[in-house]
């Protein structure tokens, strides 16, 4: 058997690590935790899209892989259901027919990209992108380029309106609350970082999607799934 090089061993380790969306880990203080795994994407996009990604990265003070991860997770539709396993590391059930389809009809951009980008995005973002690619028959490069060019961060005015809405809930109920689908239909529940305002999911502190941490993204995804499920009835 041919001996693997150091780089090949590293690649195989990363590939195996990304097979699951979450892994158990040990923190510096010895406590146990859960981390999001990451998978590599390598696509070619236009110069305009690349410069736009750099602009977003600088303005939001986030690395490019992290801002791209958040754009993918918050702008693409949901392709996974919440898992019933109850395990912290097994949170989603993905549609295997979209992750590994037998009939592939992908439309590529038609023009060669000017910038090659290679990032390690989170496994959940990778699978969502892969699912969307196969559901829409578009290449990852086409999807990513379009997402970046069309992405608009939450305006300051919108953040302020969201914050005012959440503050109004606190004034009335004295605690974080979540509406179902009608603004007047509000039920108290365990403390959450989001509220559902007429089908629009907003952060209770007005924090924009670009700056949500992994737990916030996970909670957003679960609430988004509830919205889609209710709309389908």
pLDDT recorded at residue 110: 55
pLDDT recorded at residue 7: 59
Is 62 in the same domain as 146?
yes
Judged by average pLDDT, the poorest of 49-58, 66-75, 83-92, 136-145 is: 83-92
Is 47 in the same domain as 136?
yes
Q: At what angle do helices 140-150 and 47-60 cross, to 10 degrees?
A: 50
Which of the listed residues 150, 170, 193 is the one where a domain comes to its end? 150
pLDDT recorded at residue 206: 76
pLDDT in tens, 5-25: 765 555 565 555 545 666 656
Is 131 in the same domain as 195?
no
Q: Are 68 and 210 in contact (CB under 8 A)?
A: no
194, part of any domain: yes
- Sign of torsion, CA 22 145 228 219? positive
At residue 28's C-alpha, the angle toward residues 25 and 31, to 5°, is 60
Is 189 in the same domain as 145?
no
Which of the listed residues 150, 171, 196 is the one where a domain comes to its end? 150
In the chain, helix, strand, coil percent, each to 5? 45, 20, 35
User: What whole-number distance in Å separates Cα of residue 70 and Cα of residue 211?
Assistant: 8
Residue 156's contacts (CB-CB under 8 Å, 6 or more residues apart) are none
Q: Are 49 and 148 in contact (CB under 8 A)?
A: yes
pLDDT recorded at residue 128: 92
Question: Of 199 and 228, which is predicted with more confidence?
Answer: 199
Q: Give 177-185 contacts, CB < 8 A, sequence gap 24+.
A: 181/230
pLDDT in tens, 159-169: 777 777 777 76
Q: Are 21 and 123 in contact (CB under 8 A)?
A: yes
Share of the chain above pLDDT 90, in %: 25
pLDDT recorded at residue 170: 67
Residue 178 has pLDDT above 50, yes or no: no
7, part of any domain: no
pLDDT recorded at residue 162: 75
Reported residue count of the chain is: 233
Is 39 in the same domain as 145?
yes
1, part of any domain: no
pLDDT recorded at residue 80: 79
What is the domain range of residue 118? 19-26+34-150
Per DSSP, the three-state class of 51 is helix
What does pLDDT average to over the chain? Answer: 75
**Tokens linked to 59:** 């303005």
Which runs of E-coded beta strand occur in 64-123? 80-82, 92-94, 115-122
Over residues 111-123, the mean pLDDT reads: 84
Question: Of 44 and 197, which is predicted with more confidence?
Answer: 44
Per DSSP, the three-state class of 1 is coil
User: What whole-number distance in Å separates Cα of residue 159 and Cα of residue 156?
Assistant: 5
**Chain center to CA of 215:** 11
């Amino acid at each position: 058997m041919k001996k693997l090089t150091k780089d090949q061993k590293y690649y195989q380790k990363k590939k195996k690590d990304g097979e699951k969306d979450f892994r158990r880990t040990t923190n510096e203080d010895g406590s146990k935790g859960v981390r999001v795994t990451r998978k590599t994407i390598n696509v070619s996009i236009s110069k305009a899209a690349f410069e736009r990604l750099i602009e977003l990265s600088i303005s939001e003070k986030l690395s490019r892989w992290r801002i791209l991860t958040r754009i993918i997770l918050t702008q693409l539709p949901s392709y996974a259901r919440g898992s019933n396993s109850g395990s912290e590391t097994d949170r989603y059930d993905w549609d295997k027919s979209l992750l590994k389809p037998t009939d592939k009809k992908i439309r590529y951009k038609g023009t060669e990209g000017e910038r090659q980008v290679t990032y390690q995005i989170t496994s959940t973002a990778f699978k969502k992108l892969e699912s969307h690619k196969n559901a829409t028959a578009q290449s990852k490069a086409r999807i990513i380029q379009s997402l970046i060019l069309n992405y608009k961060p939450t305006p300051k005015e919108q953040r302020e309106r969201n914050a005012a809405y959440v503050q109004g809930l606190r004034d009335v109920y004295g605690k974080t609350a979540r509406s179902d689908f009608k603004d007047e239909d509000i039920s108290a529940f365990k403390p959450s970082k989001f509220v559902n305002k007429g089908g629009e999911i907003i952060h209770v502190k007005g924090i924009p999607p670009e700056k949500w941490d992994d737990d916030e993204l996970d909670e957003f995804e679960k609430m988004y799934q509830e919205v889609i499920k209710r709309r389908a009835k």
